[in-house]
């Protein structure tokens, strides 16, 4: 492989196949998914450079909505324009919609089976390891100097110890980056102390100094066109939902999409309050079961909204008692559509401006500081998973802890793929559940 020349641009079919595959294997929540995209797109395929990848990631981190799906949309848009953004963004979500809908139907129909519970028992500790590994991979590149490392530690303390909301952490980090750029410009330049990305992985197809393609240049005409199309599309679909439950879901999940700063866990209380307490679409226990399913299926963790929509439409029997499966899928589809429509709109509206300011330190420095803070937030997410998975009834679950340690070693030391780690962990969990029933 010649690392001194950019790789051949993939055909649109090859591009399509990659995102379709990712949609089926993107486990591990946003941290794991971002790590998988980094490994494939930056390290292996070299479709985009380290700096361009992190610049796009920084932008998605400050947007409301699922950052991993928005990052996929951004990269797809940068490579192939609107059709690339739509393909990458839709395929990132679509497999998850069908898989989660199927699992939700099984959950509602057959209840909790020992075999299913065993597989989930094995996968959850592996997810903890995946998140930790993602924090390491992103941090090793983004935290290029002591100042950024301290910023990551402070962000972790702020969210873990003092429960400061993620949007405030983003604002504080961006302010530090803005001021820091004036005092020490090199400190807040991504990769300033690690050399260029071409020295790490080779020259990329979209490299650090590759000119902005014509379709990615900012134009006011495009901006207003996308804005009008997005608003009209959402309004038309909402007006066609003559069923009150589906109409309420459309309005509710649109609002949820606009307040999802800080990822799925930040917005879960809002979804819980609306789905359980306000509209009575599901019970509190079902909400927690839905979160467990969402954690262990591919796609963004915010896809738990599909579970809420599926259960809610089924409970309300929107199409009658004989059409429960159709009702559930309709509810899941409505919840998914209105949750992700704003995400596409944010990328198509904002990405051209972000590309235009890529070389401007006063814009890039705040985003670099945000990335450093996000590393601390990812570590906090790993701690959240660990406490929920490895510690039960004031006792350490040594089997789950062992799975986490072995999974991390497999990822870190032996470079085993995430999908393989999840599959083996699920089989171990299944084996443990079978032995416990003997």
Q: Could you report the per-residue pLDDT of 368-425, keeping only the tens digit for each?
A: 888 788 788 778 877 877 887 888 778 999 999 999 999 999 999 998 877 788 889 9
Nearest to 346 by CA among 227, 249, 255, 266: 227
DSSP assignments along 337-393, one per residue: HHHHHHHHHHHHHHHHHHHHTTT-HHHHHHHHHHHHHHHHHHHHHHHHHHHHHHEET
Torsion of CA 372, 205, 363, 361, to 10 degrees: 90
Quote the tokens at residue 81. Answer: 């324009």
- Calpha distance 436→434 (Å, rounded): 5
Quote the tokens at residue 323. Answer: 């059409």
Q: Which pLDDT score is estimated for 194?
A: 38
Per-residue buried b or exposed e for 102-119, using 16+ beta carbons within 10 Å of the residue's own CB:
ebbbebbeeeeeeebebb
Q: Which positions ≥6 away from 190 have C-beta within 8 Å? A: 50, 51, 54, 55, 141, 142, 144, 364, 368, 371
Q: 389 and 124 in contact (C-beta within 8 Å)?
A: yes
Per-residue buried b or exposed e for 313-332, using 16+ beta carbons within 10 Å of the residue's own CB:
bbbbebbeeeebbebbbbbb
pLDDT digits (tens, 9 = 90+) for 54-93: 889 888 877 888 888 999 999 999 999 999 999 999 999 9
pLDDT digits (tens, 9 = 90+) for 166-213: 778 888 998 999 998 888 887 876 544 334 444 467 889 999 888 888
In the 8-state DSSP scheme, what is residue 205? S
Which residue intervals of 184-219 are DSSP H helices? 197-201
Q: pTM for the whole thing?
A: 0.75
Mean pLDDT of the chain: 86
Q: 325 and 106 in contact (C-beta within 8 Å)?
A: no
Task: Look at 6-20, 203-217, 236-250, 282-296 and tell me which has the smallest mean pLDDT.
Answer: 282-296
Q: Which positions ≥6 away from 61 have C-beta within 8 Å? A: 67, 170, 367, 370, 371, 374
Neighbours of 63 (CB within 10 A): 18
Q: Which pLDDT score is estimated for 197?
A: 45
Quote the tokens at residue 206. Answer: 């979209």
């Amino acid at each position: 492989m010649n690392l001194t020349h950019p790789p051949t641009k993939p055909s649109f079919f090859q591009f399509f196949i990659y995102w379709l595959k990712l949609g089926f294997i993107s486990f591990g929540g946003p941290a794991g998914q971002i790590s998988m995209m980094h490994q494939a797109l930056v390290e292996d395929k070299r479709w985009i450079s380290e700096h361009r990848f992190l610049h796009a990631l920084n932008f998605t981190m400050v947007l409301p909505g699922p950052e991993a799906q928005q990052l996929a949309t951004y990269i797809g848009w940068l490579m192939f324009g609107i059709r690339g953004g739509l393909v990458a963004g839709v395929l990132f979500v679509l497999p998850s919609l069908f898989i989660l809908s199927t699992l939700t139907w099984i959950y509602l129909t057959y209840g909790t089976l020992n075999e299913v519970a065993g597989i989930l028992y094995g996968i959850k500790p592996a997810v903890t390891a995946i998140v930790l590994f993602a924090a390491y991979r992103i941090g090793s590149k983004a935290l290029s100097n002591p100042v950024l490392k301290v910023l990551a530690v402070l962000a972790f303390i702020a969210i873990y110890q003092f429960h400061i909301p993620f949007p405030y952490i983003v604002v504080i980090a961006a302010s530090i980056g803005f001021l820091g750029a004036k005092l020490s410009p090199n400190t807040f330049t991504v990769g300033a102390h690690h050399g260029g990305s071409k020295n790490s992985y080779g020259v990329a197809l979209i490299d650090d100094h590759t000119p902005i393609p014509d379709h990615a240049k900012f134009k006011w005409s495009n901006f207003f066109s996308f804005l009008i199309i997005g608003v009209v599309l959402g309004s038309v679909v909402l007006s066609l939902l003559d069923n009150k439950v589906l109409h309420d879901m459309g309005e509710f999940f649109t609002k949820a999409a606009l307040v999802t700063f800080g990822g799925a866990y930040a917005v879960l209380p809002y979804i819980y309050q609306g789905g359980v307490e306000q509209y009575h679409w599901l019970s509190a226990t079902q909400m927690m079961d839905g979160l467990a399913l969402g954690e262990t299926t591919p796609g963004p963790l915010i896809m738990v909204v599909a579970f809420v929509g599926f259960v809610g439409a089924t409970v309300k029997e929107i199409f009658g008692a004989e059409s429960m499966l159709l009702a559930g899928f309709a509810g899941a589809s409505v919840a998914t559509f209105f949750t992700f429509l704003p995400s596409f709109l944010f990328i198509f509206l904002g990405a051209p401006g972000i590309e235009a300011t890529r070389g401007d330190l006063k814009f890039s420095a705040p985003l670099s500081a945000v990335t450093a803070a996000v590393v601390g937030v990812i570590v906090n997410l790993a701690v959240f998973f660990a406490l929920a998975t490895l510690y039960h009834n004031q006792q350490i679950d040594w089997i789950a802890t062992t799975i986490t340690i072995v999974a991390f070693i497999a990822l870190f030391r032996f470079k085993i793929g995430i999908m393989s780690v999840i599959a083996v962990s699920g089989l171990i969990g299944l084996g443990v559940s079978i032995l416990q029933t003997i």
